[in-house]
Structure 1
Amino acid sequence: METFVLAGGCFWCLDAVYRTMRGVTEVVSGYTGGDLDEPTYEQVKAGATGHAEVVKVVFDPEVLPREIVLDAYFTLHDPTQLNRQGEDVGTQYRSAMFFVGDGQRELFEAARERAAEWWPGDVVTTIEPLGAFWDAEEYHQDFFAKNPEQGYCLIAAVPKVNKIRAGFAEYVLA
């Protein structure tokens, strides 16, 4: 098993997408990249902690190749938007990849270079060492499945899930 920690806007969308992919055994919404221990959603949402909303994606690379996990990441959010995704604005919504070890850093750099070929404009995704990871509150875990009719999910998560289903069909659960 391998674990990637990725930020690309609100963690509800990333969580919803990765839960649809074959080989993913766990998705945990959380916070990292900041300087406050045990942050709460309200603190992170306020933008003063330095933390990003992230997902920890645990997957089997024999079933779901690393490059596919990362290409899906660069497909499901706009990595050219600095410190925002749509209406979600602030460093807590930044596009960032948090690595463990040089091998993972190199994988992330290669994925960012691939993404730069298909996105117009500059890809602003940062690649940062993973520090402490803090699990988000329980109500954020698998939020989309628990709240499929919630307005934000309908506007933001559903199109992203559909985009991944269309572009990565062979890697999506039936």
Structure 2
Amino acid sequence: MKKWIVFFAFVLLFNCHNTAQVNSKQQAVINAEPIEVSLQNGKARAYFASGCFWCVEAIYESVKGVEESISGYSGGHTKNPTYAGSNTGRTGHAEAVEIIYDPKIVNFETLVDVYFGSQNVTQVNGQGNDRGSQYRSIIFYQNEVQKQIILKKKEALAKKLGAKIAAEVYPFQKFWIAEDYHQNYERLHPNNSYIRNVSIPRLNRFKAKFPELLKDNH
């Protein structure tokens, strides 16, 4: 009897957790028209979610043409999300990064290649041991051209691997910058156990896979 009680409690929790991601407010985000971010000083912006933003921030900052990578939250239905709030799984947001890049040096298509090439593309709701909807993979598009680039690459990858690709495809709406202590976390805390055991190995796997994309000092 006790086993059944635990089982049903787990099912209820799981269902509640997922309801937070598929409610009407979240569906409105998914169905919205994309917002296009204009160039600023010749620099473009792109938005990706792929597990812990500490890891993703460092990966993109190693890429030629990327000026800066900023950690934050995107993809949800609540305003002013926080780290604590997003960790509940009820805000709809995922840990994401804003990539500020020079389109004359690196294009959006290459940034998408970096995205798919730097994660476990089949893992749903997380990367490695970081699990939960706040760690899910989302790739954001700002216009129809970007959307088609994403969908074609996702379809080709699924065909190549013979597996379903977990990344969701969302119209970009808004990026909320994370708390100051999250910014440049890997660079500022090289001896942190998570950084040493998770972030740096993930970054090194990416570097080994795409050496031609790296900045000279990486």
| Fold conserved between structures, TM > 0.5 | yes
Deviation for aligned residue 1:76: 1.1
Partner residue in 1 for 2:17: none
Letter aligned with residue 118 of structure 2: L
CA apart distance, 1:116:
2.1
1:144 maps onto 2:144 in alignment: no
Q: Deviations over 1:38-82 (max 9, x none)?
A: 011111122121100000112123212333211111111112111
Write the mapping of 1:1-174 to structure 2, written as runs, cut at 5 A: 1-119=43-161, 121-174=163-216
In our comparison, the structure showing a higher alpha carbon Rg is: 2
Q: Could you tell me whether the CA contact under 8 Å between 1:6 and 1:56 is conserved in 2?
A: yes
Q: Structure 1: any 5+ residue segments left out of the alignment?
A: none
2:122–2:164 contact (8 Å) kept in structure 1? yes
Q: Deviations over 1:108-144 (max 9, x none)?
A: 1122123324445210211111122110011111110
| Contact 1:80–1:119 (CA under 8 A) maintained in structure 2 | no
- Calculate the aligned-residue CA RMSD, in Å: 1.4
- Any stretches of 5+ residues in structure 2 without a counterpart? 1-42
Q: CA contact under 8 A between 1:8 and 1:79: conserved in structure 2?
A: no
The aligned counterpart of 2:11 is none
Letter in 1 for 2:86: V
Structure 1 residues 31 and 66, CA, compared in 2 at 3 Å: closer, same or farther? same
Scaled by the length of structure 1, the TM-score of the pair is 0.93
Secondary structure in 1 matching 2:173: coil
Identity score, percent = 36
Which stretches of structure 1, 4 residues or longer, exceed 6 Å deviation after superposition?
none
Seen in structure 2, the aligned counterparts of structure 1 residues 93 and 4 have a Cα distance that, compared at 3 Å, is same
Normalized per residue, the structure richer in helix is 2
Looking at structure 1, the residues matched to 161 and 188 of structure 2 have their Cα atoms a distance apart, in angstroms, of: 32
Alpha-carbon separation, structure 1, partners of 2:145 and 2:199? 31
Counterparts of 1:65 and 1:99 in 2: how far apart (Å)? Answer: 14
For the 8 Å contact 1:50–1:91, the answer to whether it is kept is: yes
Counterparts of 1:101 and 1:12, CA distance in 2: 27
Q: Which amino acid aligns with 2:140?
A: F
Aligned length, in residue pairs: 174
